[in-house]
Structure 1
């Protein structure tokens, strides 16, 4: 076959197909604050509400409040008005000021319990999940603690001490540690069978190095999500303890104490209980929304975008 035949052009009646256009429109990346809100609406709403409550707690003295512990018997049980936005209680104290300052107690308890329970539960779960001989001992202790409802365990621990914010944080933390440690243990049990962990063991890495370098980073996402739920549960538990008189002292303005003091007048002066209950509900809702958003963002199986 000659070279002229090989180099001959295709016949004129054979036309090349035109290039096909894009079937799908180009994807425009969403950047900035608006893009984040569209990608993570649940996290954005929860984060905004939580930041709002934190701002209320931090800047309470600047939000037209008065001394939340100041007594004024002559102005007791005043209805909400332009002078007293949330009314006054049976001792004449301004409910608006007490509710705003009460946000400090609830947020301090919630954040502190979430931090300490997460750190201690993470440590226990890592050791229990990876060290086989310690698993049976530690988990039996955790199972025994989990057999008692957390609120009853917190009440029993508070009965052994005097009422204070520090003791409330300690009691609720002890009650929440078993749930966090059990979650971390379940994650570690699945991680320790991964090939990269077997490779690290074959390479001669020591157990502490394997836990800190290979196991710990993969547990941070679930423990972060769990910390948000622990925070919300701790705030509700603190309100329950204060409501029944087993939490913070009555002189400290907390949402549970405010509701406990107003329950006797609930039928005639419901606003004393209504306003702190609304603030507590909004705060817990914000934390739960933030946790749901973090779960969707950190878990690729729950991601809504392709």
Structure 2
């Protein structure tokens, strides 16, 4: 209230008491923490990404985390229970289970990430071509249907039986089983995009097919493929552990989680820790990747996106 208004109303400045300013319920938008806002909007992405980052850090920093040679044999200290000296105990050959579990995270992450990348690239290419070029659709999709009709684990075992045991062959064998789902997903997206007006306008304008696919179709398929890649990564880790557990995966000398559990199954009833610790790490890693995938699906799908 101005002084002229006070004089007109017959009041003086001293007769008016100013009310204290009300506190802001919410801090100004610029002052809010970006990390806090991200955690609020996408909690599953934050939790899953944090766990995945932790597992990756463990794999990269394994030599610095008080580990020993995971392949060093010491028969004199075999089947030692977990203690201050051997945090996860030792196996039947005297090898430190803690060191083997930490180094084993490298194998699972390499297989998971490599399979997700390889299957996504190959499946994306097949889906784009089959969905946009009608001539290839029938032939290519029938091949994908044939591959998908075979259980993935059986197909991976058959492919591994034709080759020698190695990490590279495990990646290729698992990736072959994951290509059909990706290609079918991309094909379904391309079929819907092909009928959009902007694509029809590009065709009518005489734009070449590769340009249409790369410029108009491909960008709209990256979001679902990215989400699918996270689930492929988690599935590949489980498949790799299964193959190694039954002796059809990585060589036994490599400290993978599947190999560690396979070596400890004979002593499960008396020394369960040999199987327990790699199983816990595998479960946490798969859970983290699945949480990350669920969060990405919610964030990238406009129908499920969470808004404040």
Tell me the TM-score normalized by structure 1: 0.90
Residue deviations 1:9-33, cap 9 Å, x none? xxxxxxxxxxxxxxxx989645411
Determine the structure 1 residue equivalent to 2:138: 136
Determine the structure 1 residue equivalent to 2:88: 86
CA distance in 2 between counterparts of 1:276 and 1:157 reads 26
Relative to structure 1, is the Cα distance of residues 178 and 284 closer, same or farther in structure 2, using a 3 angstrom cutoff?
same
Determine the structure 1 residue equivalent to 2:121: 119
Determine the structure 2 residue equivalent to 1:245: 247
Determine the structure 1 residue equivalent to 2:271: 269
Question: Structure 1 regions of 5+ residues with no counterpart?
Answer: 1-24
Q: Report the alpha carbon displacement of residue 303 of structure 1 after superposing the two structures with TM.
A: 1.2
CA distance in 1 between counterparts of 2:27 and 2:299 reads 20
CA distance in 2 between counterparts of 1:242 and 1:48 reads 27
Residue 160 in structure 1 maps to residue 162 in structure 2: yes
Select the residue among 131, 145, 148 that pairs with 2:147: 145
Relative to structure 1, is the Cα distance of residues 31 and 129 closer, same or farther in structure 2, using a 3 angstrom cutoff?
farther
Query: Mapping of 1:9-88 within 5 angstroms?
Result: 29=29, 30-88=32-90
Q: Report the alpha carbon displacement of residue 74 of structure 1 after superposing the two structures with TM.
A: 0.6
Determine the structure 2 residue equivalent to 1:296: 298
Determine the structure 1 residue equivalent to 2:262: 260
CA distance in 2 between counterparts of 1:194 and 1:266 reads 58
Q: Which SS does the other structure have where 1:51 is aligned?
A: helix
Q: Which SS does the other structure have where 1:274 is aligned?
A: helix
Q: Which SS does the other structure have where 2:303 is aligned?
A: helix
Query: Mapping of 1:144-223 within 5 angstroms?
Result: 144-223=146-225
Q: Which SS does the other structure have where 2:79 is aligned?
A: coil
Q: Please list every run of at least 4 consecutive aligned residues from structure 1 whose deviation after the TM superposition is greater than 6 angstroms.
A: none
Q: Report the alpha carbon displacement of residue 304 of structure 1 after superposing the two structures with TM.
A: 2.1
Determine the structure 2 residue equivalent to 1:225: 227
Select the residue among 96, 99, 106 that pairs with 2:98: 96
Relative to structure 1, is the Cα distance of residues 59 and 230 closer, same or farther in structure 2, using a 3 angstrom cutoff?
same
Q: Aligned pairs, how many?
A: 282
CA distance in 1 between counterparts of 2:195 and 2:209 reads 14
CA distance in 2 between counterparts of 1:32 and 1:234 reads 33
Determine the structure 1 residue equivalent to 2:3: none
